[in-house]
Amino acid sequence: MHIAEGIVSAPVLVTGIGVATAGTAIGLRRLDYNHIAEAGILSACFFVAGLIQIPIGPASAHLVLNGLLGILLGWAAFPALVVGLLLQALFFQFGGLTTLGINTMNLAVPAVICRYLYVYIPVSTRKWKAVSAFLCGFSGVGLASLGLSGSLAFSEENFAEVAALVFLSHIPIMFLEGIITAFGISFLTKVEPGLLPAKKTISVPALFQFFTIFRKKEIS
Amino acid sequence: MIEDSFLDGNSIIHNMDPRLRIIIAFIFSFLISISQQLPTLLLGLTVAILISFPVYWSNHRIQKKIIFVNKFILLFWIFLPLTMDGQPIVLLGGLIVSKEGIWLAAILTLKMNVLLLVLTSLVVTIPISLLGKALQSLKLPDKLVVLLLFTYRYIFILEQEFRTLQVAAKLRGFEPATNLHTYRTYAHMTGMLLVRSITKAKQLQQAMVCRGFTGRFHSLSDMALKSVDWMWLGFFICCIAGLGGVEWIPR
């Protein structure tokens, strides 16, 4: 789930840097020093989980887990992913300095969307909770691969076929991530429910709260 | 096992100021990735080979990295010539191989290799502690730098932890396959890793507070540009101006 350096065009790179910078600024504002070790370790945790090869049919895929990261960290997913992606660029040369912005945007925007999806989907039974967690994992990777193909297609019109292929090849991974996220959330609900954000109901104040993202707030 | 792929050594690149290296790598990479002209890329390749030569000389791991990136570019070599419209060169059983497609694939290959050389020789040669310090003195938010250092520190520990979980699963007869049981097991392993890491994070937080951590890592040595760094700066300003000139001055 990385764009290598040298492929996407300047407008896409600049958009990525802009969105990633804004998101990271918001994330850092909402992340206080008491939770920074937690965010760092979660970021390391996702770095490690991303190395697991999971069999899917004849091939195997690696987990992205940006949905789960988003649910746990909220806006702090932005700085956590910037750091994780920078380390991946330095360790394995997946992505690079110039594509750090666009790669962060593609993974972190869906992560934050997943947080809001998870928090605001009003479900109470276990079954429906699992379904909503599946939806978060599925759309986390789904939106990320949409962003990935979009950035390819916007860079160069001749990349359309490659972009379509990239998107199609991620469809099985979306289902895989959905399943893993659903099981993961149900595991955390049983073992360490304090990690998960509290469910909220959509109300007018809640909608208003969405627009006050610059408010300093602890991650939960 | 995750290998810390930091390229150590003691070359003239390693002795350059890390802040300078980061800034130069960023500007240079950005210029290369937006350039469209072949002469610019060739000039960039020459500079990249020049600066990566000292690193390459003292460290052979860089070869593995180059091979890895070029495997990825194969996808473009397969797709672009076949899908791009343009002047046909060869007909492969109904498929048209276009000249423009091959040209674009070649340009991309060149770009990716230049960028890889720049990244590996200028940035991957900075040890992480120095990288954190350099980013801090480049006025990046303290929190982000602290986050980077924590993440780096814990990657190796958590990987060890995950191996332990994997061994435990294997001893209980777990074999990965395409079924729900496998996915549930992996999800639970990831969940367990999360729970354990949160416990570790809380301990770490308390230990840091006990030692008076206020959100910044202090360093005893100051970073200062030496005269050789100014020479490097001059060299790279010439290179970057040259690249910009070749790319945008109309001929």
Query: Is B150 within 8 Å of A182 when comparing Cβ atoms?
Result: no
Cα separations in angstroms, B170 against A61, A184, B166: 20, 20, 6
Which 169-208 residues of chain B touch chain A by CB within 8 A?
176-178, 180, 182-184, 186-188, 190-195, 197-198, 200-202, 204-205, 208
Which residues, other chains included, contact B83 with Cβ-Cβ below 8 Å and sequence gap of 6+?
Answer: A158, A160, A161, A162, B101
Q: Measure the CA–CA gap between A220 and A90, rounded to whole angstroms.
A: 30
Residue A74 domain-assigned?
A: yes
Q: Is B94 helix (H, G, I), strand (E, B) or coil?
A: coil
Give the model's confidence band at A203: pLDDT under 50 very low, under 70 low, under 90 confident, else very high: low
Query: Is A187 within 8 Å of B191 when comparing Cβ atoms?
Result: yes
Six token digits for residue B77: 């070599």
Report the chain A residue with the minimal C-alpha distance to residue B199. Answer: A38
Six token digits for residue B22: 């980061």
- Write the pLDDT tens digit of every residue in B109-163: 888 889 988 888 888 888 888 888 899 888 888 899 989 988 998 898 899 999 9
Q: Is A25 helix (H, G, I), strand (E, B) or coil?
A: helix
Query: Is A96 within 8 Å of B83 when comparing Cβ atoms?
Result: no
Q: Measure the CA–CA gap between A1 and A12, rounded to whole angstroms.
A: 16
Q: How many CB pairs under 8 A join A and B?
A: 228
Report the chain B residue with the minimal C-alpha distance to residue A7. Answer: B108
Query: Is A36 within 8 Å of B147 when comparing Cβ atoms?
Result: yes
Interior angle at CA B81, CA B76 and CA B83, nearest 5: 90
Domain count, chain A: 1
Q: Given this model, what pLDDT does residue A42 score?
A: 85
Whether the pLDDT of residue B167 is over 90: the answer is: yes
Report the chain B residue with the minimal C-alpha distance to residue A35. Answer: B205
- Span B85-93, mean pLDDT? 71
Residue A219 domain-assigned?
A: no
Which 71-90 residues of chain B touch chain A by CB within 8 A?
72-73, 75-76, 79-80, 83-84
**How far does A192 lie from chain B, in Å, by closest CA?**
7
**Backbone CA torsion sign across A12, A14, A15, A19:** positive
- Write the pLDDT tens digit of every residue in A7-21: 888 899 999 999 999
Q: Name the residue type at position B242.
A: G
Residue A3 domain-assigned?
A: no
Q: Given this model, what pLDDT does residue A8 score?
A: 86
Give the model's confidence band at A205: pLDDT under 50 very low, under 70 low, under 90 confident, else very high: low
Query: Is A83 within 8 Å of B68 when comparing Cβ atoms?
Result: no
- Write the pLDDT tens digit of every residue in A121-176: 887 788 888 899 999 999 999 999 999 999 988 888 778 888 888 899 899 999 99
Phi-psi label, residue A74: left if phi above 0, alpha if psi -120 to 50, beta otherwise:
left
Query: Is A79 within 8 Å of B144 when comparing Cβ atoms?
Result: yes
Give the model's confidence band at A206: pLDDT under 50 very low, under 70 low, under 90 confident, else very high: low
Cβ burial of A114 (10 Å; 0-12, 13-18, 19+) is buried
Q: Given this model, what pLDDT does residue A15 score?
A: 94
The ipTM estimated for the assembled molecules is 0.88
Please report residues of A whose CB lies closer than 8 A to that of B123: 90, 97
Interior angle at CA B68, CA A101 and CA B90, nearest 5: 100
Give the model's confidence band at B106: pLDDT under 50 very low, under 70 low, under 90 confident, else very high: confident
Report the chain B residue with the minimal C-alpha distance to residue A79. Answer: B144
Report the chain A residue with the minimal C-alpha distance to residue B75. Answer: A162
Which 7-66 residues of chain B touch chain A by CB within 8 A?
25-26, 29-30, 32-34, 65
Cα separations in angstroms, B67 against A58, B41, B64, B79: 25, 20, 5, 20
Which residues, other chains included, contact A159 with Cβ-Cβ below 8 Å and sequence gap of 6+?
Answer: A7, A152, A153
Query: Is B119 within 8 Å of A57 when comparing Cβ atoms?
Result: no
**How far does B224 lie from chain A, in Å, by closest CA?**
24
Check residue A217 and report its DSSP letter.
-
- Write the pLDDT tens digit of every residue in A170-183: 999 999 999 999 99
- For B6, phi and psi rounded to 5 degrees? -55, 130
Please report residues of B whose CB lies closer than 8 A to that of A179: 180, 183, 187
Q: Given this model, what pLDDT does residue A80 score?
A: 94
- Write the pLDDT tens digit of every residue in B29-50: 999 988 888 888 999 999 998 8
Give the residue ranges of DSSP H helices in B59-141.
Answer: 62-72, 74-83, 99-118, 128-137
**Which residues lie across from A55 on neighbouring strands?**
A60
Q: Measure the CA–CA gap between B193 and A187, rounded to whole angstroms.
A: 11
Residue A114 domain-assigned?
A: yes
Picking from B249, B147, B77, the residue whose alpha carbon sits closest to that of residue A24 is B147
The answer to whether the CB of B96 falls within 8 A of the CB of B88 is yes
- Write the pLDDT tens digit of every residue in A98-121: 999 999 999 999 999 999 998 888
Whether the pLDDT of residue A218 is over 60: the answer is: no
Residue A124 domain-assigned?
A: yes
Six token digits for residue A142: 């789904």
For tokens 């000039």, what's the residue?
Answer: B43
Whether the pLDDT of residue A220 is over 60: the answer is: no
**Which residues lie across from A60 on neighbouring strands?**
A55
For tokens 């595991």, what's the residue?
Answer: A187
Whether the pLDDT of residue B5 is over 90: the answer is: no
Cβ burial of A207 (10 Å; 0-12, 13-18, 19+) is exposed
Long-range contacts from B212-216, C-beta under 8 angstroms, 24+ separation: B213/A33, B214/A33, B215/A33, B215/A36, B215/B142, B215/B143, B215/B146, B216/B136, B216/B142, B216/B146
Residue A151 domain-assigned?
A: yes
Which of B190, B200, B203 would best serve as a mutation to test chain A binding (most A beta carbons within 10 A)? Answer: B190
Whether the pLDDT of residue A210 is over 70: the answer is: no
Six token digits for residue A81: 């992913």
Give the model's confidence band at A212: pLDDT under 50 very low, under 70 low, under 90 confident, else very high: low
Q: Given this model, what pLDDT does residue A217 score?
A: 55
Domain, as residue range, for A115: 10-210
The answer to whether the CB of A182 falls within 8 A of the CB of A37 is no
CATH number at residue A74: 1.10.1760.20
Please report residues of A whose CB lies closer than 8 A to that of B146: 36, 40
Query: Is A54 within 8 Å of B183 when comparing Cβ atoms?
Result: yes
What's the mean per-residue pLDDT of chain A? 86
- Span B61-65, mean pLDDT? 72
Whether the pLDDT of residue B221 is over 60: the answer is: yes
Q: Measure the CA–CA gap between A21 and A101, rounded to whole angstroms.
A: 8
Pairing relation of β-strands A59-62 and A53-56?
A: antiparallel
Check residue B167 and report its DSSP letter.
H
